[in-house]
Amino acid sequence: MPKLKTRRGAAKRFNRTGTGKLRHRQAHRSHILTKKRTKRKRQLRGMAEFHPGDVKAVARQLPYG
């Protein structure tokens, strides 16, 4: 069986935790931050886990991730 190729765009955006769960960066944190409240920006920090319905599709893009 040949090696599977990783989707490079997905590899740059997503990663796995030590227990194997997939994580992604949260949206709405890249620009126009002046009008957003401090609490909202603070809560958007860090990584978030994928919704259970999306995990299968993302895992397929990262076969060795």
CATH number of the domain that 34 lies in?
A: 4.10.410.60
Full-model pTM: 0.83
Residues in contact with 41: Cβ distance below 8 Å, sequence separation at least 6, in sequence order: 29, 33
Cβ atoms of residues 9 and 18 within 8 Å: no
Inside any domain, residue 48: yes
pLDDT of amino acid 14: 97
* Contact (CB, 8 A) for 27 and 51: no
In a domain, 2, yes or no: no
Q: What is the mean pLDDT of the chain?
A: 96
Could you report the per-residue pLDDT of 26-57, keeping only the tens digit for each? 999 999 999 999 999 999 999 999 999 999 99
Answer yes or no: is pLDDT of 65 > 90.
Answer: no
Per-residue model confidence as pLDDT tens digits over 1-31: 999 999 999 999 999 999 999 999 999 999 9
Q: How far apart are CA 65 and CA 49, in angstroms?
A: 15
List the domain range (segments joined by +) for residue 20.
Answer: 8-61
**Domain for residue 27, yes or no?**
yes
The total number of structural domains in the chain stands at 1
